[in-house]
Chain A
Amino acid sequence: MTEATLLELHDVDLQLAEARHPAHATRLKKLGFEPGEPAPLERVRGRLLASVERRWVQHYERALQRYGRGVVGMRDRVCLGCFVTLPTSAAPGSGESLTLCESCGRILYWR
């Protein structure tokens, strides 16, 4: 539950970053879209945040504040946030797909 919610939260934050920026809204309007206000996305964010385990929230918010993104993907054991290759032992246990990057502290999505 936490895992799926955290991934959704990440995608909401990507959209929010776009929605909060007036220049992006202007660009979208020029392209023919009609972007709404960020407030509904803020409410979704609050709802998702409330249902994520507290330990993950702390890691997530810290990484988000520091780097602008709380979760990053992995490719060939390379963290796509800091591009450090992680040891095989850093892989999550069976049935899990999230760990922390030992180098930068971002949450890693291993799928």
Chain B
Amino acid sequence: MTTVAVHPVPDSSLFLPDLKLKRKESVLHEMACAAQRAGAARDSSLLHETLLRRERWCGSAIGKGVAVPNARSLAITEPRLLIARFRRGLDWGASDDVPVQLVLLVLSTSETSVDAHLERVARAIAITRTQRNRVKLLEAEDARVVAALLREVAQ
């Protein structure tokens, strides 16, 4: 296992296909709890707080309906990528004002170097660079389809 690679979504617990939440704070909370349930985080409260603080320092909306929140934290036990989708989209403070429909949460353990963590973030962003991939992610029926797309992009 490498800390640089973005891990494919291995099971449905890391794929939240249709969240109904309306605020990014609630979304980050839900995703932090999902990470803990999946065994990727030991402390969802600390993870949530770390994500919120990072969001205040460096907003994670990168435009075109995508947000890539990320964290290096003691709360994280395993490097993971979580994906959440919103059919209607929600305000994430993006500079292009496009509501966010895709959230890719990149989690790195606190032992991960900044460079390795940012490399993982860059790979997650690369997945969403093309409209074709964004549509595929938005229309994927389940975690297996998403995992297949991530593997395809990684090759």
Contacts and interface: CB of A to CB of B under 8 A. Distances in A.
Q: Do A and B bind each other?
A: yes
B74 interface: yes
A95 interface: no
B60 A33 contact: yes
Interface residues on A, range: 20 to 34
A57 interface: no
A72 to B, nearest CB: 7
Given A7-B46, A109-B74, A31 B125 contact: yes
A15 B111 CA distance: 13
A35 B55 CA distance: 9
A11 interface: yes
Interface string A2-33: 00100110111011011101001001100111
A8 B48 CA distance: 11
Interface residues of B, number: 30
Contact of B109 (A8, A24, A33, A73): A73
Interface stretch (B18-26, B83-91, B114-122, B136-144): B114-122
B110 A69 contact: yes
Contacts of B49: 8, 11
Given A12-B53, A34-B58, A109-B74, A17 B110 contact: no
B63 interface: yes
Given A4-B46, A31-B121, A73-B74, A11 B110 contact: yes
